[in-house]
Amino acid sequence: MMADVPAIFRTRRVRWVLIAASVLGLIIGIDTLLLHLRLDPLADVRAYYDAGARLNAGLPLYVQTAMTDDPGFYRYPPLLAIAFRPLALLPYETAALIWEGFLIVLFIGTLVRLGLRNPWTWIVSGWLAAPIAWSLAIGQAQVAVTFLVALGSPWAIALAGNLKILPLIVAVYWIGRRDWRAIRHLVVWLIGLVAVQFVLEPAATIAFIGFSDLGQVGNVQNRSLYAFSPLLWGVFVVGFLAVALRYAPTKAGWALAVSASVLVSPRLLMYQLSTLQAAVRSPGDDAIGGERLAEDGPALAGQHRSDDEGDPQPETDIAEGPDEHRAEERELAPDP
């Protein structure tokens, strides 16, 4: 049985509270964007650029002068560094601007994927405006990860997982739904992408296996429970994944899977929260019209089409017809 959204979250008053929170988030996001454009513009591009330059020079990818807390530290699978090899042949400023332009296109693509006519796209994007702005300001690959996760296809999750490992946790959505076809496609794409990396950069691909560990958490403004207690973090991870698996078949399944891929990180910086934006639209929403998306909210319209034949939605849904608007106007009209 599908988990329904509590009716209180679809009432008119609560809707305006959510919109107000989104506007406040947007204001904070603009301030965050200006702050990082002033203090550390495109800072994280340095890590990708230098990694591509090391590969071009025939140097080991993971032998680097930058420390784990530095923006220039490369901690990712080889794929992103391989993709940066052509850009690393250009002057850094030129390469950084090309990469930033690419990220802006992907951000716009994320909004299009979530639905420009879906009010939840804008509400949730407002809530997450600060981490989104931070990601764009520093040229973070998290923008690309968010776009790929929002696509919601096995190939896209496999690609995102080869940019940063944790997006692979989204697979709990298909495991919990026993969608073995999607799992098979995911595994095939993973094997293919790893094979491509091995062919192009065999040494770097092998080196990554022993390179990534919890020692890279470092001393940063870590929002993960791991910074407080590794034991508590471990309990949280197991519990969250169990919940995501249990409720994967429900309308909240996609949102839980996306949230798990972000929140279980032992090194959680604020900009990583931007990927929660991908929870707005689940893969099952492709066959459902924009009106249903507007009614059900983030990642909650992913039912089979047969569900549309069930009980009608309450009249307090976000998508209201002209009759409801006229009734509201009569209620607000002053007495003569």
* CA–CA separation, 196 and 318 (whole Å): 46
**What 3-state DSSP class applies to 316?**
coil
Task: Supply the pLDDT for residue 214.
Answer: 74
Contacts 24+ apart (CB under 8 A), 17-21: 18/123, 19/123, 21/126, 21/127
Among residues 54, 129, 115, the alpha carbon closest in space to that of 295 is found at: 115
Res 292 pLDDT > 50: no
Please report the sign of the dihedral spanned by the C-alpha atoms of residue 307, residue 312, residue 318, residue 321: positive
Structure-token pair, residue 107: 């951000």
Q: How confident is the model at residue 53 (pLDDT cuts 50, 70, 90)?
A: very high
Task: Supply the pLDDT for residue 304.
Answer: 40
Task: Supply the pLDDT for residue 315.
Answer: 41
Asked if residues 260 and 266 have their Cβ atoms less than 8 Å apart, the reply is: no
Q: How confident is the model at residue 210 (pLDDT cuts 50, 70, 90)?
A: confident
Res 291 pLDDT > 70: no
- CB within 8 Å of 286: residues ≥ 6 apart: none
* CA–CA separation, 278 and 121 (whole Å): 9
Quickly list DSSP for 53-122. Answer: HHHHTT--TT--SS-TTSTT---S-HHHHHHTTTGGGS-HHHHHHHHHHHHHHHHHHHHHHH-TT-HHHH
Q: pLDDT by residue (tens digit) across 139-194?
A: 999 999 999 999 999 999 999 999 999 999 999 999 999 999 999 999 999 999 99
* CA–CA separation, 254 and 49 (whole Å): 34
* CA–CA separation, 276 and 33 (whole Å): 18
Res 240 pLDDT > 60: yes
* CA–CA separation, 233 and 124 (whole Å): 26
Instruction: Flag the least confident range among 8-12, 310-314, 321-325.
Output: 310-314
* CA–CA separation, 319 and 115 (whole Å): 14
Res 294 pLDDT > 90: no
Task: Supply the pLDDT for residue 212.
Answer: 77
Structure-token pair, residue 132: 């989104």
Q: pLDDT by residue (tens digit) across 297-308?
A: 555 444 443 344
Q: What is the mean pLDDT of residues 268-289?
A: 84
Q: How confident is the model at residue 286 (pLDDT cuts 50, 70, 90)?
A: low
Task: Supply the pLDDT for residue 6.
Answer: 59
Q: How confident is the model at residue 285 (pLDDT cuts 50, 70, 90)?
A: confident
Task: Supply the pLDDT for residue 244.
Answer: 97
More confident: 17 or 334: 17
Question: pTM, whole model, 2 decimals?
Answer: 0.84
